Amino acid sequence: QVQLVESGGGLVQAGGSLRLSCAASGRTIGSDTMAWFRQAPGKEREFVAAKSWDYASARYADSVKGRFTMSSDNAKKQMYLQMNSLETEDTAVYYCALDRRMRGGSTWPNNYDYWGQGTQVTVSP
């Protein structure tokens, strides 16, 4: 019912910026919660941020507060993650996810029903 496609990853030097995009298609509604997770080699999938289509407020992991910002273009059905002041520890595959059942912006990956393919972000020192 829903497809998510991430883009915008790449290689950037520490201190630089990237903007990731997640394009959604299929059955989406404003109350859907969108989230970004990331997974580095040898580590578990980690919550980054969450936001719904209809509400401006967002939830962020402590590790990215003040550096990352979620926003959306609802007409284009795209969710964005603006990443500033990138650090080497931000290196990971970043995934877009959707919770269709209003579970409150959970940090638990299993609460998300749809996932994109991931996009690699590499931050060099």
| pLDDT tens digit sequence for 11-53 | 999 999 999 999 999 988 888 899 999 999 999 999 999 999 8
CB distance 97 to 114 below 8 Å:
yes
| Residues pairing with 36 in the sheet | 49, 96
DSSP letters, the chain, are: -EEEEEE--EEEETT--EEEEEEEEES--TT-EEEEEEE-TTS--EEEEEEESS-S-EEE-TTTTTTEEEEEETTTTEEEEEE-S--GGG-EEEEEEEETT---S-S-GGG--EE---EEEEEE-
Distance separating alpha carbons of residues 37 and 107, to the nearest angstrom? 9
Distance separating alpha carbons of residues 41 and 43, to the nearest angstrom? 6
CB distance 70 to 50 below 8 Å:
yes
Whether the predicted pLDDT of 102 surpasses 80: no
Mean pLDDT over 97-104 rounds to 85
Number of Cβ within a 10 Å radius of residue 56? 9
Of the chain, the percentage scoring pLDDT greater than 70 comes to 100
Tokens for 98? 């959707």
- 76 — pLDDT class (breaks 50, 70, 90): very high
